[in-house]
Chain A
Amino acid sequence: MSAPTDAAAPGPVRAIVAPRPADVAAARCAAWGACSDLVASPHDVDVRAALAARLGSFDALPHGAGLAALAEELARADEARLRAEYSGLFEVGSEGPPVPIREDLQTGQLAGTREDIVRFYDFFGYRLDDRFAWAPDHLSVELEFVHFLCYREAQQDDDVLSYVLAQLDFAERHLLRWVPALAGATATHAAGSLYARVVAGLADFIRADHAWQQSTVGPAGP
C-alpha cells in the first residue's frame, strides 16, 4: 500500500458522458449518509435510531440491497452487543484496536494520506468540527464526505462536474485503497460478525458504486 501519489502524469480531460440525473444523486446521497451511519460508533451515536430513520435509503440503488438488509439488522440489534462488538474491533485493544477503522492506520501512517484527505475536504468546503478534526480518515467521516459531495451534485446548481469527479477520485485515492483491506482484516478478526458483514458490504457497495461512476465519466470530446 502506498500513499496517494501526486507523481502521475495528468490524465485526459474528463467529462460526464452518461446521464446522472438529480434523483439518482439524491438517492446516492441518502445511501452514502446511511453508509456513514453504519460504521459510526454506537458509543457516540444512537446508530439504531439513525438507521431506523434511514431505512429505505438503499432501495433506489441496484447495488444497495446488501446494505439495506444489514441496516435493518443493525437497527434491530441489541445496543450493548453493538457497542461491545464495535469497540472491541475498531476502538480499543491491548496493542491498539485489532482493526483500526481509520485509513491512516490501516495503510501504515504513510506521509501524505491524511493531507490528501484534508485537501479534499478543504477544497469542497467540508470542515470538520473541532471535536472530530483529529480523525479525518475515520471511515464514517470519509463516507459522510461522499454523502456531502452527492448532495452537492444533487443540487445541480453549481459546477456539477466538480462534484462528480471528486466522488470518483476520492473513491480511487482513498476508499478503494483501504476499505477492502479493512473488510479483510475485520473478517479475519471476527468472521461472520455483524460488523464484519457490514464492512464487507460497504466494500462491495464502494466497488459497485465506483463501477457505475466510471460508466458515467469519460474523456471529454474534441
Chain B
Amino acid sequence: MSFTTDRRRFAQGLAAASGAALSMRYGVAAAAGDAATPAYRSFEDLLRNKWTWDRVARGTHGTNCAGTCAFNVYIRNGIVWREEQQGMYAPSGDAPDYGPRGCQKGLRHAKYMYGPQRILYPMKRVGGRGEGRWERISWEQATTEIADRFLDLATTEGPQCVTYGSGTQMSVKLASSAGLFRFANITGVTVPEFYSGVGDLPTGVYMTLGQVYTGDVMAAVYKARCVLVWMSNPAATRIPDAHFFWEARYNGTKLVAISPEFTPTAMHCNHWLNPKPGTDTALAMSMVHVILDEGLYDAAYIREQTDLPLLVRLDNGEFLREEDLTLVGRLAVRENVYYLWDEATGGIVQAPGTGLAEKPAGRERRRHGSLDLGAIRPALEGRWTVETLDGPVEVTTVFARLVERAAAHAPEKMQPVTGLAPAVVRKVARMFAAVKPAMIYTGYAACKWQHGDMLQRAMLLMVSLTGNVGVEGGGLQFGNAPRTRGVAGFAMADIGPAMRMVSSTTWDYDHGDFRALNERIYGRELADTYDRYYRASLREDWFPDYSDRGWKMAFFAGENAASWRAGNNQWRKEAFDRLRTIVVLAPDMGVTALHADYVLPIAHHYERADVMLQSRIPYVQVLDAAVPPLGESVDDWEANRRLAEAISRRARERGLGAVRDEVDGRSVRRDYARTLDWYTMGGRIRSAKDVVQYVLNTTPGVPKVSFAELASRGIVRVDHSDSTLWEHAGSPYHNDVVESVRNKRPYETFTGRQQFYIDHEWFLEFDEALPAHRDPLRIDGFPLQMLMGHARHSIHSMWRDDPLLLSLQRGEPDVYVNPGDAKARGVADGDLVRVFNPGGEFYALAHVSAGIQPGMIFSYHGWDPMQHRTRNNFSAVVTSAGLIKPTTMAGDYGHLGYRALAFAPNQTYRDFTCNFERAADQQLGRRPAAQASA
C-alpha cells in the first residue's frame, strides 16, 4: 500500500450517539444520510447491481513482439479488470484486414499486472548480491544514493564508465526511449545498443543493401505467390498476424516452412524442409544454384540493380576499379568507380550509379545518381582481357564467379551437409522461382549464427536473382523501423548530440574477456585468430575501442540482461558481478533485478502514457494510462526525471562544477547541476504525455494528432499506407530499396548496387567475397546442437512466469529432445535432465518430441534463471558470445565500418553444442515458485 500519514483523515469524526469514531486512511465513506444503502440480507444482494465500467481506456502492451495490438482496457474502482481486442482495423489494398489483434499474453495482462512478481517499491539490497535480501526505501533515498554513486564516477573517471542499457521492452515505446536517450545525452553515460547485442542485427542485409530495413506490413504475405518461412515460426510468435499466411494459402500461395525442428508453422504449410541445424546457407546456395543452372533468373533486373555484371579481376579477386586504369583513380580520388563489359560496344564501361561520393559528403548521391543502363548491355558471363596501369589483366563478372560458387553448393553436393534430398531442394527452388512475387519471410534467428550474414546474403541472392527485391509481396521480409527523427530529435533538443552509443557485442568482448572464453571453448588457435583481427579493426579505427573504458556502474531498463546474455556465466563473472553499482528499473522481478543493488519500480503497460510505431501494421498505437501506476511505481520518463533531479540536487549540494568531456572528438561541457533543467527542457516537458506529443509532432508520416485524440481513438492510420509495401517517402518507414528498384536510385553500398560480392581484403582472405556454407562450430565431445526460438506463451521473459500461461505448458522450463537421443540416455518424457557443456549447465524437463532431429535439442527461450532449479537457464550453455567473425569487423570499405544499429558484429547465440543426461536427483533444488503456484 502506498499512502502517507497526512492522508489520514477522520471522515466523520465521532458518532455522538454511540461514541464510535470513524477513522479511515484508505477509504472515503458516503456520509450518513447520503444515498441510502439498500438493505443487505445476504451476499446475493451484492450481485444485484449490474457490473458496469467507470471507463474504457485504449492501450496495448509495450513489449517487442511487433504485435502492437489495440486493446480496450476496462476499469472500475481504479482497477483494470479485463481487456479485449479493440478491432477496428482497415485493410491494405485487397488484402485481409489487420484485426482483431491480440493474443493470450495480452489477454492475461489484467491479471498479471497485479501478480506477486510486481515490483511496487524502490528496493535496496541488504544482503549479498543475488541473495534476495531487500529493504524497501523511499524514492528520495534511492535516487539520492544512486546520484551520489554516479557523480563520484562521472567526476573522477568520467561518465563513460557508467552504462544505461535498455532492451526490447524499451525500444518499442518511443516516448520512453526518447526520455532514456535524452537522459544519456545529458549525463554522458554509455548506451550499449541491444540490436546487435541480442544477435538481431541483419548484417548480411546491410552488406548487400547498405541498410537493414527490408520489411513491409504483414499483409504483404497475402500478396506473395510463394513464401519461404525460414528461421521463423509465426504461428507461435506472430499470433495476431499469422492469419495472413493461412489466408494466403487459401488464396493459392505456396507456403514452405524451413526449420530443423517441426514447428507449429510447419504443420500449416504446403511443404516443410528440415535442414540439419546450421546448414541453411548450404540450402540457400543450393537453391541459388538451381535458379542459375536452370536459367530461372531475371536477367534484366540483375543487370540493372545488382553488382552481378560488375567486372572482377581474376588475378587478385578484386573489382576492376578506376585505380587500375587511370592515375586519377590510383590516387584514390574516386575509389568506387566500377566497370561493366558492354556487349553493345564490346568494351568496358563505367557502371551507372558508381563513382558517387560516400556519406556524409555524399548524402545526396541517391538523388543525383542513377542505375539506368541506357544503351549499355552488360554481359553477365565471359572473360576478357583489360589493359591496366600494371599491364593486361583478365577479368570476368561477379555473376560468373557466383555461378562457380553456387555450383559448389549443388543440391547433390550439399545433401550430406543439409540432409535434404536433392529432388526436394530442386522442387522448392523451381517453385520459388516460377512465380512472382515470391518472398522469404525470415526471423532474427538468421542473425544469431556466426555466419548468419552469409545466410542473409544467400537469401537475398534468391530473391534478387528472381527480381523480387523491392516488389510488393516479394523480397526478404526481415523488418522495418520508423524513421524516428522524433525520438532522436527529442534526445538532442536544446543540447546537441553528446551521447555515447556503443556496440554491445564488442563492449562485452572487452569487458567480459571473451577472448578467454573463446580459448576455453573453441581452442587457442581460433581465439588468437579472432582476437588478432578484432584488435586490427580497432587499430585501423574501423571500429571504436572500448577497452580503455572501465565499466563501473550500470543501469538496466526494459531488459533482463542477465537472463539472455550469451556467454552468461563468463559475462556475469568477469563483468556484471564486478560492477560497483547495478541499478535496475523494471516492472517485474527477474534475475537482473535479483543481482541489483537498487531496484526501481516501473509502471506496467496499462499504467503509463506512450506511443508505439511498428512497421508490421500501418497504425500508430497509443498506450494510455488506464489506472495510476501500482504502489510507488512510475513510468520510465518519471523515473529518469527523479534521477535527474537527484543528480542536479546533489551536484549543487556537493558544489560540483561543470565537467569537461569528449565524445567522438567533440568537446562537451557537462554541468550536472543543470541535469534536471536540461532533461525537462526548462520545465516545458512535464510528463511522458508531453514526450509522446513531441514524438508525434516530429515523426514523419504520422498524422499530427494530439495525445488526447490518439488516446480516444487508440489507433490512427499512418500516412501513405494504402498498399502492403512501404513504398512512399512520406510514410514513417524506410522505403529506400523500393526507391532504388522503381526509380533506379543507387543503393548505399560501396558499389551503389545490391552488392553480393565484397572484395574487402578480409572477405577475400576468408573466402567470403561471395556467400558460402560454413560448418557450424561444435564443442568437442558434446554432440547436440542447441537451438532456441521465441515462445508462444511469453514475449522474451515477459509473462514467462504467469501461472495460467505456465499451466498451458509443462509448468516449468523444458527442453525438446529427439526420442532416439532421449532413449540412448535413458530419459523419458517429463524427466528432469541436466543440459551441460564446458560453459555451464542448467536443468529442465525433457520434452521428448519426434519433431526434433537427432543431434539437436531445442529450447523456447525467455525462461528466467529464477524459474530454474539452481537458477541457471539456457544462457549457461551458450558459449558463443566471443565469436566475433572478422569480416563483421571490416571497415574502410565504403559502407562497411562501424555504424550503430546498422553494421556491427552480432553477439553469436548458436555455434555451440552440448549434451544432456537424466538428472541424478529428481528433487534437485526446489521447484521454482512461479510454477509451484501454478
Interface residues in chain A, defined as those with a beta carbon under 8 Å from any beta carbon in chain B? 4, 6, 10-11, 13-14, 22-23, 25-26, 29-30, 33, 36, 40-41, 43-46, 49-50, 83-84, 87-88, 91-97, 100, 104-105, 108-109, 114-116, 118-136, 138, 140-141, 144-145, 147-148, 150-152, 154-159, 161-163, 165-166, 169, 173
Contact = CB atoms under 8 A, between A and B. Distances in A.
B627 A125 contact: no
Nearest to B866: A95
Contacts of B32: 152, 155, 157-158
A150 B302 CA distance: 85
B344 interface: no
20 contacts: A4-B43, A45-B5, A45-B8, A83-B136, A92-B123, A95-B116, A109-B115, A114-B79, A123-B49, A125-B35, A126-B30, A127-B28, A129-B27, A135-B630, A138-B26, A144-B26, A151-B22, A154-B17, A161-B40, A165-B41
B1 A148 contact: no
A134 B134 contact: no
A93 B134 CA distance: 6
Contacts of A49: 5
A123 to B, nearest CB: 5
Given A44-B2, A45-B5, A118-B79, A148 B132 contact: no
B393 interface: no
B41 A144 contact: no
Contacts of A41: 1
B416 interface: no
A159 B589 CA distance: 47
Contacts of B803: 108-109
A23 B930 contact: no
A100 to B, nearest CB: 6
Given A105-B116, A155-B17, A123 B38 contact: yes
Given A127-B29, A132-B27, 15 more contacts: A26-B15, A43-B138, A44-B1, A49-B5, A96-B116, A109-B803, A123-B46, A128-B27, A128-B78, A132-B26, A133-B78, A140-B26, A141-B27, A148-B22, A158-B36
B637 to A, nearest CB: 20
Contacts of B315: none
Contact of A108 (B4, B135, B933): B933
A149 to B, nearest CB: 10
A127 B135 contact: no
Nearest to A119: B46
A104 B29 CA distance: 23
A41 B7 CA distance: 14
Contacts, number: 241
B366 interface: no
B594 interface: yes
A10 B44 contact: yes
Nearest to A137: B114
Contacts of B589: 93-96
A216 to B, nearest CB: 16
Contacts of B123: 92
B28 A173 contact: no
The residue among A10, A100, A130, A131 with the most chain B CB atoms within 10 A of its own CB is: A131
Nearest to B31: A125
B81 A115 contact: yes
A88 to B, nearest CB: 7
Interface in B689-703: none
The residue among B21, B51, B77, B79 with the most chain A CB atoms within 10 A of its own CB is: B77
Given A92-B121, A92-B123, A95-B116, A135 B1 contact: yes
A49 B23 CA distance: 14
Interface string B900-934: 00000000000000000000000000000110010
A113 B78 CA distance: 16
Contacts of B18: 22-23, 25-26, 154-156
Contacts of A115: 51, 81
B361 interface: no
Contacts of B37: 123-125, 158-159, 162
A84 B137 CA distance: 10
Interface string B818-857: 0000000000000000000000000000000000000000
B745 interface: no
Contact of B40 (A22, A93, A131, A166): A166
Contacts of B3: 44-45, 129, 131-132
B120 interface: yes
Contacts of B132: 93-95
Contact of B41 (A13, A29, A114, A131): A13
B111 interface: yes
Contact of A148 (B24, B38, B42, B45): B24
Nearest to B631: A134
B33 to A, nearest CB: 9
A194 to B, nearest CB: 16
B627 to A, nearest CB: 7
B294 interface: no
Given A96-B117, A122-B49, A109 B19 contact: no
A118 to B, nearest CB: 5
Contacts of B895: none
A87 to B, nearest CB: 4
A88 B118 contact: no
Nearest to A5: B43
B19 A26 contact: yes
Interface in B586-613: 589, 593-594
B669 interface: no
Nearest to A104: B114
Given A94-B866, A96-B117, A131 B21 contact: no
Contacts of A13: 41
Contacts of B24: 144, 147-148
B26 to A, nearest CB: 5
A195 to B, nearest CB: 14
B39 A162 contact: yes
The residue among A134, A158, A159 with the most chain B CB atoms within 10 A of its own CB is: A134
A38 to B, nearest CB: 13
B47 interface: yes
B133 interface: yes
Nearest to B44: A10
A88 B135 CA distance: 6
A88 B77 contact: no
A95 B117 contact: yes
Contacts of A151: 12, 15, 20-22
A138 B138 CA distance: 20
A72 to B, nearest CB: 19
Nearest to B594: A94
Contacts of B630: 134-135
B5 A173 contact: no
A104 B43 CA distance: 19
Contacts of B133: 88
A96 B118 contact: yes
A1 to B, nearest CB: 11
A148 B43 CA distance: 18
A37 B66 CA distance: 46
Interface in B113-132: 114-121, 123, 126, 132
The residue among A10, A91, A122, A140 with the most chain B CB atoms within 10 A of its own CB is: A91
A136 B22 contact: no
Contacts of B413: none
A45 B25 contact: yes
A4 B20 CA distance: 30
The residue among B26, B47, B866 with the most chain A CB atoms within 10 A of its own CB is: B26
Given A96-B589, A100-B116, A126-B29, A118 B77 contact: yes
B131 to A, nearest CB: 8
A102 B19 CA distance: 31
Contacts of B43: 4, 6, 116, 169, 173
A46 B23 contact: no
A60 B922 CA distance: 56
Nearest to B136: A87
B628 interface: yes
